[in-house]
Amino acid sequence: MASAAFRAFWNSPVGPKTTHFWGPVSNSSLFISGMIDTQKPPEIISGNMTGALCVASVLLMRFAWMVQPRNYLLLACHASNETVQLYQFSRWAQYHGYLGESNKEQATTDEDE
């Protein structure tokens, strides 16, 4: 039974013999690196790059939904990346004062004390 399920997956239009499988696997590195970057200080986040990654992930989520056969693995990969990039973008915006008091001002006030 298990070997038949594995054989069906192996030979499916979105199985490991296709780019519909290996594309999402390689794209998962974007999500992994984004998760690692959440542990770094917000002053090193590039707003331009994070914004570009947000736009790219939204566009690629649409592509994954529209392509035939529909690529749910790629959709999940880019939805995960979109989530982590939006979090990074919010950290960047908070640090630069777009979402309230700037963390830069707070850091210089703490150093003066």
Between residues 65 and 99, the one the model is more confident about: 65
Residues 53-96 have pLDDT tens digits of 999 999 999 999 998 888 899 999 999 999 999 999 999 999 99
Cβ contact 62:111 at 8 Å: no
> What was the pLDDT predicted at 84?
97
Residues 5-62 have pLDDT tens digits of 888 888 888 788 888 788 888 888 989 999 999 999 999 999 999 999 999 999 999 9
Integer Cα distance of 98 and 65 in angstroms: 33
Cβ contact 21:14 at 8 Å: yes
> What was the pLDDT predicted at 111?
57
